[in-house]
Amino acid sequence: MSLNFSRDALPLLLVAVGALCLPLLGNDYYLGVGFTLFGWVALAQSWTLVSGLAGYISLGHVVFAGIGGYLLVLTWGAVPIWLGAIVGAVGAGLFALLVGLPVMRVRGPYFVILTFGLAEFAKYVVINIESVLGKFSRLLLGGPALQDLYWVMAALALVGTFSVVVVRRLRLGAGLIAIREDETAAGTLGVPTMRFKLIAFALSALLPGLVGAMFVLRTGYFEPLQAFDPIISFTIVTMAIIGGSEDARGPVLGAIFLVLLSELLWSNFPQVYMVILGVLLIGFVLFAPNGVSGLLDRLASRSLQRPGVGLV
Partner 1 sequence: MDILLSGQLLIAALIIGSIYGLVALGLNLIYGTMRLLNIAYGDLVMIGGYVGYWLFTLAAISPIIAMLVAGVLTGLLGAALYFGLFRRQLSGRQSIERIEANSLLIFFGISIIIQNVTALAFSATPRTYNALDSLVQIGEISITQSRMAALLVCLGLSIFIVFFLRLSPLGLSIRALIQNRTASQIVGIDVNRVQLFAFVTGFALAGLAGALIGVTEQISPFMGFPFTIVAFVVIILGGLGNLAGGLLAGMLLGIIETYGVALTSANLRSILIYGVFILVLVLRPEGLLQKRRMT
Cα–Cα distance for residue pair 146/156, rounded to 1 Å: 15
Cα–Cα distance for residue pair 80/60, rounded to 1 Å: 29
Q: Are 52 and 240 in contact (CB under 8 A)?
A: yes
User: Rounded to 5 degrees, what are φ and ψ at 4?
Assistant: -80, 125
275 binds partner 1 (CB under 8 A): yes
The residue among 80 and 117 lying less far from partner 1, judged by its C-beta, is 117
Stretch that binds partner 1, among 19-27, 82-90, 147-155, 266-274 (CB under 8 A): 266-274
Give the bridge partners for 23, in sequence order: none
The residue among 189 and 272 lying less far from partner 1, judged by its C-beta, is 272
Stretch that binds partner 1, among 118-126, 170-178, 184-192, 205-213 (CB under 8 A): 118-126
**Near partner 1 by CB under 8 A: residue from 20, 21, 110, 260:** 110
135 binds partner 1 (CB under 8 A): no
* Residue 140 burial class via C-beta count within 10 angstroms: exposed 0-12, middle 13-18, buried 19 and up: middle
Cα–Cα distance for residue pair 272/211, rounded to 1 Å: 27
User: Rounded to 5 degrees, what are φ and ψ at 221?
Assistant: -150, 165
274 binds partner 1 (CB under 8 A): yes
Q: How far is the CB of 51 from partner 1 (least distance, A)?
A: 10
Q: Are 143 and 81 in contact (CB under 8 A)?
A: yes
Q: How far is the CB of 114 from partner 1 (least distance, A)?
A: 5
The residue among 118 and 194 lying less far from partner 1, judged by its C-beta, is 118
The residue among 220 and 278 lying less far from partner 1, judged by its C-beta, is 278
Cα–Cα distance for residue pair 126/296, rounded to 1 Å: 43
Stretch that binds partner 1, among 101-109, 158-166, 201-209, 302-310 (CB under 8 A): 101-109
**Near partner 1 by CB under 8 A: residue from 77, 80, 108, 220:** 108
The helix or strand, by DSSP H or E, that contains position 155, with its residue range, turns out to be: helix 146-169
Exposure string (b/e) for 12-40, b if CB count within 10 Å is 16 or more? bebbeebbeebeeeeeeebbbbbbbbbbb
The residue among 19 and 103 lying less far from partner 1, judged by its C-beta, is 103
The residue among 47 and 76 lying less far from partner 1, judged by its C-beta, is 47
Cα–Cα distance for residue pair 2/92, rounded to 1 Å: 32
136 binds partner 1 (CB under 8 A): no
241 binds partner 1 (CB under 8 A): yes
**Near partner 1 by CB under 8 A: residue from 133, 225, 264, 285:** 285
Contacts to partner 1 from residues 50-89, by CB under 8 A: 57, 59
Q: Are 138 and 73 in contact (CB under 8 A)?
A: yes
Which residues make up the interface to partner 1 (CB under 8 A)?
57, 59, 102-103, 105-106, 108-110, 112-114, 117-118, 120-121, 124-125, 127-128, 131, 234, 237, 241, 271-272, 274-275, 277-282, 285-286, 289
